[in-house]
């Protein structure tokens, strides 16, 4: 009696191996799923173990013919297995970037304990905790991180499948971030007026120059510039320098009452970009002047600029200060100066306002781009470290 054990990726493959080795007279004694060895085995599909037996105590006349037949079919069976393996390899090559996340997850599980000694409930809890910790490391607000994880738990049917959990988390983060909304010039209106708002030092003037350059050089639009930032040293000269290089006019206003006249002077332009001074909400008189300027402009769009390195406490103060503007879009500057993108998710959730652009350096006009929701989501999901 021959009794042998065969392993396959599924029952079909295991049975092929049995027939190829023992022939059609083999008897299947038992079949079971076996978890692959090692930590990464927890993230892989179990193998199929098949125990087969063949009674060879009596030599039967047809044994030699059967043996010959099995030998003739061996090549065909091997080719079938090879073809199946090739298809599986092709599928494995299509696995998304989440695979790298899973490997890091496995490493963390290994360092934290032996999974084979944990209950499935403990394992699931650890997986969700690892994703939670990753969001917190990216400086996502604790309550928001909890909200996101709870949303994922409601969506995922099979919490044992880490790929499914990671995919659901990625989609949830994308949903929280929403689709970016950028400046879209109205075809029935000219000029289109856009105002940049934000605290001192956030980079409004440089950002305005980048937008102006994009519309003038890439979109072939006529642009007019207006600045009311006459309080910051060299602010006006900085904008005038950019305007001269780009070949576009710039107007300087000193009071809110001048804004309408300045806009009317650019009636032939496709778009007018307005730079404003940074104002502290603690200085009531100055902020009221800024408020008057913004409301008198009757602008088509407002963009609130927030530095990516700004702390959440200051961000809340900034958002509260500009609460008089109903419909603004969020523009994050200095994104190249931070490795934690949680602030983007935090501010989006806090304000409910759409995201738009990010700036990634000081170069005009290159260092501005539409925010990449896919990239931000992957960073928030995938930067798991030990």
Quote the pTM value. 0.68
Q: Do 204 and 70 share a structural domain?
A: no
Of residues 271 and 126, more confidently modeled = 271
- Residue 110 CB coordination number (10 Å): 15
For residue 94, what pLDDT is reported?
43
For residue 305, what pLDDT is reported?
96
Cα distances (angstroms) measured from residue 89 to each of 24, 32, 100, 104, 321:
29, 24, 17, 22, 56
Domain span holding position 55:
2-93
In CATH, what number is assigned to the domain containing residue 351? 3.40.50.300
Q: Do 146 and 13 share a structural domain?
A: no
pLDDT single digits (tens) 2-50: 778 888 888 888 888 888 788 877 877 678 888 766 544 445 677 888 8
- Average pLDDT of the residues of the chain: 80
Q: Do 360 and 220 share a structural domain?
A: yes
For residue 154, what pLDDT is reported?
86
Q: By CB neighbour count within 10 A (0-12 exposed, 13-18 middle, 19+ buried), where does 184 fall?
A: exposed
pLDDT single digits (tens) 282-336: 667 778 888 888 888 899 999 999 999 999 999 999 999 898 898 999 999 999 8
The first and second tokens of residue 331, run together, are 């523009």
Q: Do 261 and 115 share a structural domain?
A: no
Does 385 reside within a domain?
no
Q: Which long-range contacts (CB under 8 A, 24 or more apart) does 234-242 make?
A: 235/205, 235/275, 235/277, 238/205, 238/206, 239/205, 239/208, 239/209, 239/275, 242/205, 242/209, 242/212, 242/213, 242/364
Q: Do 109 and 85 share a structural domain?
A: no
């Amino acid at each position: 009696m021959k009794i042998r054990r065969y392993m396959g990726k599924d029952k079909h493959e295991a049975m092929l191996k049995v027939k190829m080795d023992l022939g059609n007279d083999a008897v299947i004694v038992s079949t079971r799923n076996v978890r692959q060895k090692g930590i990464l085995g927890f993230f892989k599909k179990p193998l199929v173990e098949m125990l087969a037996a063949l009674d060879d105590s009596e030599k039967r006349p047809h044994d030699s013919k059967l043996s010959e037949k099995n030998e003739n079919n061996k090549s065909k069976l091997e080719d079938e297995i090879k073809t199946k393996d090739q298809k599986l390899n092709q599928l494995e090559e299509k696995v998304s970037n989440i695979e790298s996340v899973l490997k890091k997850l496995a490493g963390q599980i290994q360092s934290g304990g032996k999974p084979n000694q944990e209950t499935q409930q403990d394992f699931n809890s650890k997986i969700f905790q690892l994703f939670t910790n990753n969001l917190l490391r990216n400086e996502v607000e604790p309550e928001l991180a909890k909200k996101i994880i709870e949303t994922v738990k409601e969506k995922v049917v099979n919490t044992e499948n880490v790929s499914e959990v990671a995919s659901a988390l990625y989609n949830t983060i994308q949903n929280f971030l929403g689709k970016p909304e950028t400046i879209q010039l109205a075809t029935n209106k000219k000029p289109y007026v856009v105002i940049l708002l934000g605290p001192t030092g956030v980079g409004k003037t440089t950002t305005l120059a980048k937008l102006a350059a994009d519309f003038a050089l890439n979109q072939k639009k006529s642009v007019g510039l207006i600045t009311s930032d006459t309080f910051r040293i060299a602010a006006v000269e900085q904008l005038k320098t950019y305007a001269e290089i780009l070949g576009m006019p710039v107007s300087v206003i000193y009071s809110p009452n001048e804004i309408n006249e300045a806009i009317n002077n650019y009636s032939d332009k496709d778009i007018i970009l307005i730079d404003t001074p940074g104002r502290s909400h603690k200085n009531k008189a100055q902020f009221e002047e800024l408020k008057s300027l913004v409301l008198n402009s009757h602008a088509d769009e407002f963009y609130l600029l927030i530095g990516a390195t700004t702390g959440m406490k200051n961000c809340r103060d900034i958002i509260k200060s500009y609460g008089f503007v109903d419909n603004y879009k969020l523009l994050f500057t200095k994104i190249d100066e931070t490795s934690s993108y949680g602030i983007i998710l935090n501010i989006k959730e806090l304000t409910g306002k759409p995201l738009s652009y990010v700036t990634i350096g000081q170069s005009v006009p290159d260092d501005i781009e539409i925010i990449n929701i896919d990239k931000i989501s992957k960073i928030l999901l995938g930067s798991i470290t030990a």
